[in-house]
C-alpha cells in the first residue's frame, strides 16, 4: 500500500518494504527525517539514529508528536502512511516548479473531473476510506464504497456549513424508540436476526417517505409562490406570466 509513495520519494530498498519489520520501519523513519522531513536539527536526531536502542520507540513517539501526527492508534500501517504523505507534501512544496508542469499521460477519453483519476480500488484509497470512517465513528462495511457512501451522507447532512452553524437543527433529541416494539408490517419470523433486520428496513423506509413528503411540500410551496405572483404584460393586454 506504500509502493507509490515510496517511489515518489525515491526510496531505494533491495526488498519490498514491510512496516511490521522493526529494522525496516526504524530505518525508514530515520531516512525520512534525514532526507525529506528534516524537522529536527542534525544534532537532535541522535535518538532516531540509534535504531538498535531499546529507547528508540520513546524517541519515535516524541518525534511523531513533534510533527503533529494525528494517529493515536499505534498502528504502524497508519503511522507509516501518514509519515509518507507528510514527506510527499513537503517534497512537493519544496519543488513546486519541478512538478507543476508534469502531466498525467493522456487517456483515450479525458476525465471531466480530477476525481476520475482516482483509483477507487487501490489499497491506498481503501485504507483512506476506513481511516476516515474511524475518525467520523462510521461503522465500516466490508465494501469500502458502501462505507464511503455512508460517510458522504453523514458529511452532507451533519457537517455542512448550516448544520455546523446550527447543530440543534440536525442533532436528534427526544426519547429513544425501542426497536423491538416497532411493527415490522410483515408476518413475524422465528429468527431474531431476521426480525431485527425487517424492523430496521421498515424504519429506514418510513424515513425515506418522510423526506419525500418534505420535498413534495417544499415543491408545492415554491409553485404557489410563482402562481401567486402574476406579471402584467400591457403589450398584449392581459395578466399572466
23 and 61 both lie in a single domain = yes
Q: Which of the two residues, 236 and 201, has the higher pLDDT score?
A: 201
Quote the number of domains for the chain. 3
Angle between helices 123-135 and 76-94 (to 10 degrees): 110
Q: Which of the two residues, 192 and 157, has the higher pLDDT score?
A: 157
pLDDT in tens, 40-49: 899 888 889 9
**Whole domain around residue 9: which residue ranges?**
3-99
* 236 pLDDT more than 60: no
154 and 192 both lie in a single domain = no
Tell me the C-alpha distance between 215 and 32, whole Å. Answer: 53
164 and 199 both lie in a single domain = no
193 and 141 both lie in a single domain = no
* 213 pLDDT more than 90: yes
Question: Would residue 127 count as lying in a domain?
Answer: yes
Instruction: Spell out the long-range contacts of 119-127 with Cβ–Cβ below 8 A and sequence spacing 24 or more.
Output: 120/145, 123/1, 124/1, 124/4, 124/5, 124/81, 127/1, 127/77, 127/78, 127/81
**pLDDT of 131:** 92
Please compute the mean of the pLDDT values over residues 76-93 and round it to a whole number: 86
Question: Would residue 105 count as lying in a domain?
Answer: no
169 and 185 both lie in a single domain = no
**pLDDT of 239:** 54
**pLDDT of 68:** 87
126 and 91 both lie in a single domain = no
Question: Would residue 109 count as lying in a domain?
Answer: no
166 and 226 both lie in a single domain = no
9 and 89 both lie in a single domain = yes
Question: Would residue 45 count as lying in a domain?
Answer: yes
190 and 169 both lie in a single domain = no
**pLDDT of 240:** 54
Tell me the C-alpha distance between 85 and 89, whole Å. Answer: 6
Determine how many CB atoms are found less than 10 A away from the CB of residue 77.
15
68 and 24 both lie in a single domain = yes
* 96 pLDDT more than 70: no
Question: Would residue 228 count as lying in a domain?
Answer: yes
Amino acid at each position: 500500500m506504500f509502493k507509490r509513495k515510496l517511489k515518489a520519494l525515491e526510496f531505494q530498498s533491495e526488498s519490498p518494504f514491510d512496516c511490521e519489520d522493526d529494522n525496516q520501519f526504524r530505518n525508514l523513519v530515520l531516512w525520512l527525517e534525514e532526507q525529506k522531513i528534516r524537522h529536527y536539527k542534525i544534532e537532535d536526531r541522535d535518538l532516531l539514529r540509534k535504531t538498535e536502542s531499546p529507547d528508540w520507540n520513546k524517541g519515535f513517539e516524541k518525534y511523531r508528536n513533534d510533527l503533529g501526527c494525528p494517529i493515536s492508534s499505534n498502528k504502524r500501517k497508519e503511522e507509516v502512511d501518514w509519515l509518507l504523505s507528510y514527506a510527499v507534501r513537503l517534497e512537493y512544496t519544496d519543488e513546486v516548479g519541478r512538478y507543476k508542469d508534469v502531466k498525467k499521460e493522456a487517456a483515450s477519453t479525458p476525465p471531466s473531473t480530477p476525481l476520475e483519476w482516482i483509483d477507487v480500488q487501490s489499497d491506498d484509497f481503501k485504507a483512506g476510506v476506513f481511516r476516515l470512517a474511524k475518525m467520523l465513528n462510521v461503522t465500516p462495511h466490508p465494501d469500502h464504497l458502501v462505507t464511503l457512501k455512508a460517510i458522504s451522507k453523514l458529511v452532507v447532512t451533519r457537517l455542512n456549513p448550516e448544520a455546523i452553524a446550527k447543530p440543534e437543527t440536525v442533532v436528534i433529541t427526544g426519547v429513544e424508540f425501542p426497536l423491538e416494539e416497532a411493527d415490522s408490517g410483515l408476518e413475524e419470523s422465528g429468527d431474531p436476526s431476521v426480525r431485527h433486520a425487517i424492523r430496521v428496513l421498515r424504519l429506514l423506509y418510513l424515513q425515506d417517505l418522510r423526506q419525500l413528503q418534505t420535498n413534495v411540500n417544499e415543491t408545492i410551496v415554491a409553485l404557489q409562490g410563482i402562481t401567486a405572483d402574476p406579471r402584467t404584460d400591457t403589450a398584449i393586454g392581459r395578466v399572466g406570466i
